[in-house]
Structures are given as C-alpha cells and as structure tokens.
A and B are shown apart, each in its own frame.
Chain A
Amino acid sequence: MKFLQKMSKDMKDRLITFGILFGAFLIVEILILTGGASRHLQAMLIPICINMLLAVSLNLTVGFLGELTLGHAGFMSVGAYAGCLFSIYCKDLLPVFIRYPLAMLIGGAVAAVFGILIGIPVLRLKGDYLAIVTLAFGEIIRSVIINLDFLGGAAGLKGTPQDATFISSFAVVVISVLLILNFLNSKSGRAIKSIRDNRIASESCGVQITYYKMLAFVFSAFFAGIAGVIYGHNLNILTADTFDYNKSIEILLIVVLGGMGSIRGSVIAAVIITALPEALRGLDKYRMVIYAVLLIAIMIFNSSEFGKRIREKYDPKKLFAKKNAVKKENADE
C-alpha cells in the first residue's frame, strides 16, 4: 500500500489503463484457449484493436488539442493503401515479421505526411469550419483513391497478405497507448493541452501555437495510418468506400462516448461501440434502431442533472476515498 501511495497520480492512472488492457487481453486469451470464445467474438477482436487505435489517436486532436476533425478515416485510408501496397510488392521478398511492422511504419509515415499537407491549410481555421474542411479532405481522398487504377479503383485492392493477428494488433495498441501517454506528459503534450484550455494565454506565454497544433495533428494522423494498415491486412479486399465520413463519425462517437481527453475512456468505449451492434445481433432487424436509441439515451443521460448525480454517487474515486477515510478513523481510534 505504501508503494501505491508514493506513486504519482499520473503513474497510477497509467497502471489502471494498462491493467484494464491486459486484464481484458488475458480474459480473451483464456476464452480462446478454452474454446469459450464464439466465432463472432474472435472476428471482432482485431476490429476492436483497430478502433482503439483510431479512437486514441483521434482523441489527441479532439480531446487534447480541442479541435473537432471529421476526416480521420481519410488518414486511415491513406495509411491502409500505403501499407497494403508495400506488403503486396514485398510479399515474396521479406518474411512476415519484418514486412508487417515495416508496412505499419510506412503506412503511418505516409499518413503523417498527409497530415502535414492537410494540416497546413486546415489548422488556420477554427471550430465548425475546421470540422467541415477535414470532412471535405476525407471525402476528396476517398474519391481520388476510387479513381486511381493502381490502387484497385472502385473494385478494391486485392492480394494483401493476411498478416494481422489479434496478438500483434494488441501489441501495437499497447505500444501506441504508451507512446501517446508519454507524448501527452511531455513538454509538447502540456503545450498542446494549454492551447486547448486557453489559446491566447498560452500564446502569450510563448507557446508556438501553429507548431504544436501541427504536431498533435500529425501524431494523430500517424496512428490512424497504422490502424489503417492493420485494417487492410485483416481483409481480403480493401475498398475506399469504407473510409467515408461515416467511418470518421463512428470514431468520433467512440471518443465522445469515452470522454474527450481520456485515453482510458477511448479504449473502453472502443470495445463497447464495436461490440454493441454484435451484441444486439439477437434483435435482428431492430438492432440498428435500438443502437441509435441507446446512443441518444446515453448522450442525454451523460449531460443531465440526474446522470451527474448518479455518477457522483458511484464515482469509484470517492468510494475508494471514503473507505480509506473510514479505515483511517478506525486506525486512529
């Protein structure tokens, strides 16, 4: 216990996040080994990892930089196509364990380059204007990809080796979350958060707004690109139509549901949002209706007075603090 008390708040936060991640991983692995995992569940594992990566990376711009972007799927598609092309050309040249990580790095790097190119004009704008321009860029990327023959056009890109496994995807998620958490706790991360909280104040303290905005944007694009590479290596055919603005909105939905500026929230919400339509499969054709109603209900509940009271009452931190206080009192007696 003393060890726990000595740890900084930040360290504790991280331990909880990674505890949740590894706990979930262990449960899933045990289920798979014992045969308790259905095929549906197993097919969902990689998409969950992909959504975690996407949500955590989008959280960088939406939650920590405070700029709403609706074009995250665009970066994902650029990364996916770059990584898949690389894998297709190097299929026979390199073994999987070199090829696949290299593909990820290439996908991420290409997405980051696009992040720079798009970020230069986009980050001059603010608020809803920024949102619509990122949406526009996402849609432009999609229609251009459909019209490029060497990317398979509208029929899609075929022949990508199926390199994605649950364990490797999970490892990528863990490494990415670690990198992003470190980034957020660095000088740059603090600068980014200060821009969100008060742009004018941080500017007058000498924070280079443009530079740090760009940094967050590019970092976020990089991880979206990696998520795209995993996505591409999990499917037989990669079609550009899957990366429309609905995909971007789905990622945004995960971020908002998980709580903006909370990496742990994004991770948990990614599981919920990916699994929820599957879990509602039993309801057959009513499942999308119920999904929509649940979504609206959750959003209303979250911001209502009633919801706030409930959350305060069952806040794990407070419950924990109360117990500790009681213990202390007992010890004093």
Chain B
Amino acid sequence: MEFLSNLISGLSLGAIYALIALGYTMVYGIAKMLNFAHGDVIMIGAFTVLATVATAGFPWYIGIIASVIVCTVLGVTIEKIAYKPLRKANPLSVLITAIGVSYFLQSVALLIFGSGKQSFPTVIKANPIKLGSLIIQGNSVVTLIITTIIMVVLTLFINKTRLGKAMRAVSEDKDAAELMGISVNRTISLTFAIGSALAAVAGIFYGSTYGFVDPYAGAMPGIKAFVAAVFGGIGSIPGAMLGGILLGIIENLSKAYISTDLADAIVFGVLIVVLIVKPTGLLGKKIREKV
C-alpha cells in the first residue's frame, strides 16, 4: 500500500515534469534550441499566482488565468526579443542567450519579490481520497487529472488541426514549410506560447506540491524536465510525456526506498544508462548519417 501511494505521488510529480518537458521538447523540435529560461517561466507563473491570490486577494481561478496569460505573453516576448535575432546564429550563442534570459528573469523576480521563500497560496482545494488503507493526496489527483486532459488535448491539437500540422511541418523542415505557405515566425511564436502556458500550469502544480516559491525555484524542475525531455528523446512529444512521468516515479521511489539525498544522483544515473543503451532517448528518432 505504501508502495502504491509512493507510486501515485511519483506519478503526479512526473506529470508536472512532463508538462515542463513538453515546453522544452516542442521548442527544441521547432527552433532547434535548448530554452534554458523555460524553468524560470515556471517560477514567474507561480509568482503571478502568489501576487494575484495571496497579495491582491483575487479568487484562485483569476490567479490561474492571470498566470497562464502572463507566462504566454512572457514566452512570446522572450522569443521575439532575445531568440528571433539569433535564429541563424550558432546554436551555442542561442544557448548562452537563453541562459542570459534565465538570469534576467531570476534577478527581476529577486528585485520584486525578494530572495526569501514565500508560501504558496492553496489554489487546489481537494480532500485526500481514502481507498481502504491507501490515502491519495487530493493535490496528486487534481494534478494527474488535469495533466492527462492537457496531454490529450495537446496530442489532438498537434495531430489533427491545421496549426498542429504547421508546427510539425516547421519542425521537420523549416524552408520547405515556408515554401508551402506556412508562416514560420508565427508558428514559432505559437510554440513558445503553448510551451509557456504549459509552464504556467506546471508552476501552479509545483507551487502547490511543495508549498513555496522563491526566485530560484524554477531552476531545478527546469533542469529535471530538460533531463526528462532528453530521456524520452528530445523533439518527441510522446517522449517528453513518458520521460517526465518515468523521471517523477524514479525520483519519488528512490527518495522513499534508497536515500533522499541521493535521489537526484539516481535520476541522473538512470538517464546516463538509458542514453548509453539508446543514444537518442527512449522514443527519439534515429538520425541517419549521410556521407
């Protein structure tokens, strides 16, 4: 029973990682860049909820809507200002710019909210569910349900709609997509918007799970989600979901049964083993080399 409850809380943590990893993987698939600032968008999302709900006293749903809007606008703005001028530049320059954006968001949050940990308002109110001796946190249930819905909708959006088709086309071949009349710029903006909106949702769940936010709160989940995206095969959307969920479960189980301090090391260790066996991740595509 204890195992099952650990598994479920791992699943819910994994669902949060998966949400963040989706943002990483979508942006990578389309813009071929590692958006290191993605983790900090989560932090901004969580702080927006804190500011609207705890400080300004709005009801929780306003907080959530505000957070999604702020993050979406932020994501698109970052792309327009910082990444768009570098679209043809060396990938490492883009990486460093993303790191610059990450520093920027952290230091702005530090200026506005201070460096201390602030307690996150209870946005998700759900009673724990009891099934015999098994107790499941209400938080985990809500996280799991909402993430599942989001993932289903996202998968449908990408596979069934015209915009989704455009996104797939741009990620496959930018030039060919442009020749087919797809606006590459608009598609990239859309990707950033979706990724950042997902980050906002993830930020709310993350804040609710851990109960606090600080300006550096986004860094570690960001890195973990990045690992999850690579784990599943970066650029692959089902891969990010799978990678995120597996990562959450591994992390939670090793925290429960092996060692709290070494949980991160174990997560990274599993990643290394997976990549050595399957060098492009679990669901990544093999790239054939042409001579």
Q: Enumerate A91-134 residues with CB–CB distance to B below 8 Å.
A: 121, 124-126, 128-129, 131-133
Chain B residues in 8 Å Cβ range of A128: 28, 34, 230, 234
CA distance A95 to B99 in the complex (A): 43
Chain A residues in 8 Å Cβ range of B275: 125, 129, 132-133
- Does B227 make an interface contact (CB < 8 A)? yes
Q: Say which one of A29-37, A135-143, A169-177 lies at the interface with B.
A: A135-143
Question: A-contacting residues of B (Cβ < 8 Å)?
Answer: 28, 34, 36, 82, 85-86, 88-90, 92-97, 99-101, 103-104, 106-108, 110-111, 219, 223, 226-227, 230, 234, 259, 261-262, 264-265, 268-269, 271-272, 275-276, 279-281, 289, 291
CB distance from B281 to the nearest CB of A (A): 7
Chain A: residues with Cβ within 8 Å of the partner, total of: 43
Chain A residues in 8 Å Cβ range of B100: 292-293, 295-296, 299
Chain B residues in 8 Å Cβ range of A304: 85
Taking A139-B264, A299-B89 as known contacts, 16 extra A-B pairs with beta carbons closer than 8 A to each other, sorted by chain A number, are A121-B276, A128-B28, A132-B226, A132-B230, A132-B275, A136-B271, A140-B268, A140-B269, A147-B261, A245-B223, A286-B111, A291-B107, A292-B107, A295-B100, A299-B96, A303-B89
CB distance from B112 to the nearest CB of A (A): 11
Q: Can you give 25 contacting A-B residue pairs, CB < 8 Å? A: A125-B276, A128-B234, A129-B230, A132-B230, A132-B271, A133-B271, A139-B264, A140-B265, A144-B265, A147-B259, A252-B92, A253-B96, A256-B92, A256-B96, A257-B96, A285-B110, A289-B108, A295-B100, A295-B103, A296-B82, A296-B97, A299-B89, A300-B85, A300-B97, A303-B93
Cβ-defined contact, A260 with B271, below 8 A: no
Who on chain B is nearest to A63 by CB? B92
Chain A residues in 8 Å Cβ range of B106: 288
Chain B residues in 8 Å Cβ range of A121: 272, 276
- Does A146 make an interface contact (CB < 8 A)? yes
Question: B-contacting residues of A (Cβ < 8 Å)?
Answer: 62, 68, 121, 124-126, 128-129, 131-133, 135-137, 139-140, 143-144, 146-147, 200, 245-246, 249, 252-253, 256-257, 260, 285-286, 288-289, 291-293, 295-296, 299-300, 302-304
CA distance A253 to B261 in the complex (A): 29
| B88, B219, B261, B291: the one within 8 Å of A200 (CB) | B291
Who on chain A is nearest to B287 by CB? A126
Cβ-defined contact, A147 with B230, below 8 A: no
Cβ-defined contact, A288 with B93, below 8 A: no
Cβ-defined contact, B261 with A143, below 8 A: yes
The answer to whether residues A143 and B262 also contact, given A137-B268, A200-B291, A303-B89 and a CB cut-off of 8 A, is yes
Cβ-defined contact, B227 with A132, below 8 A: yes
Cβ-defined contact, A289 with B104, below 8 A: yes
Chain A residues in 8 Å Cβ range of B279: 124-126, 129
Who on chain B is nearest to A257 by CB? B96
The answer to whether residues A260 and B92 also contact, given A289-B107, A292-B107 and a CB cut-off of 8 A, is yes
